[in-house]
Amino acid sequence: METSVTLYGASGHGKVIIDILNCSSVAINAIIDDNPKSEKVLEIPVLKSSDYNFQNLKNTIISIGNNKVRKKISNLYSVNYVNAIHPTAIISKFATIGKGTAIMAGTVINPDATVGNHCIINTSSIIEHDCKIGDFVHVSPGVSLAGNVTIDEGTHIGIGATVIQGITIGKWVTIGAGAVIINDVPDYAVVVGNPGKIIKYNKQDE
């Protein structure tokens, strides 16, 4: 891991990133934000992005929980995006992790799992063998993905949801908290319940 990192986003998610970096003895160069709501986050000064010299932006993590916003910012700035991985996370040496991804405390990522760029794999979630997680996905705390699950770009899996083996979940899907997914889910669907049922579709503006 790099010895110093710049965060883009002074958010609650950013606080967790700061904690991960502190646990890994990684210095934080700066926190930048388009519309700062406070002058500091966990005692680290926040700089307004309009006042920041982006030539200084090197090793960077987009510390924003919103999947769409992470995608937008990553498309704006071609820099070296790096990962934040909590030291208590268990990641198989046979797993593949993309750039700009945050992996929280207590997560497990098993062999031949693939996690894309700018993802959030949140606290105590389980990504089993052969899962394929697309870019800009957020897997919330306590989620369990059985083996061979595929999740496409931008999807949000809600806290405590469970997905059985072999399921494919499309892009920009929202899976509700505690849902149990036993069937494939099409693009943009919003799914809740046990078993999971589609209740509506997200706007297709990505």
30-34, 55-59, 60-64, 124-128: least confidently modelled range:
55-59
Quick: pLDDT tens for 123-168.
999 999 999 999 999 999 999 999 999 999 999 999 999 999 999 9
Q: Tell me the percentage of the chain whose pLDDT exceeds 70.
A: 98
Q: 2 pLDDT exceeds 70?
A: no
**pLDDT, averaged across the chain:** 94
Residues 6 or more apart in contact with residue 22 via CB below 8 angstroms? none
What is the predicted pLDDT for the residue at 57? Answer: 77
Q: What is the mean pLDDT of residues 71-91?
A: 94
The structural domains of the chain, with segments of one domain joined by +, span 4-81, 84-198
Spatial contact of 177 and 159, defined as CB atoms under 8 Å apart: yes
What is the predicted pLDDT for the residue at 39? Answer: 87
Kindly report whether the global pTM for this prediction surpasses the value 0.85: yes
Overall fold of domain 84-198: UDP N-Acetylglucosamine Acyltransferase; domain 1 (2.160.10)
Q: What is the mean pLDDT of residues 71-100?
A: 95
What the block records as the tokens of 138 is 């957020």
**What number does CATH give the domain 4-81?**
3.40.50.20
What is the predicted pLDDT for the residue at 92? Answer: 98
Query: Could you give the residue numbers annotated as active site?
Result: 129
Q: 1 pLDDT exceeds 60?
A: no
Query: Which three-class secondary structure string do you get for the chain?
Result: CCCEEEEECCCHHHHHHHHHHHHCCCEEEEEEECCCCCCEECCEEEEEHHHCCHHHCCEEEECCCCHHHHHHHHHHCCCEECCEECCCCEECCCCEECCCCEECCCCEECCCCEECCCCEECCCCEECCCCEECCCCEECCCCEECCCCEECCCCEECCCCEECCCCEECCCCEECCCCEECCCECCCEEEECCCCEEEEECCCCC
Quick: pLDDT tens for 36-47.
888 889 988 899
Provide the pLDDT confidence category of residue 29 given band limits of 50, 70 and 90. Answer: confident
Q: Tell me the percentage of the chain whose pLDDT exceeds 90.
A: 81
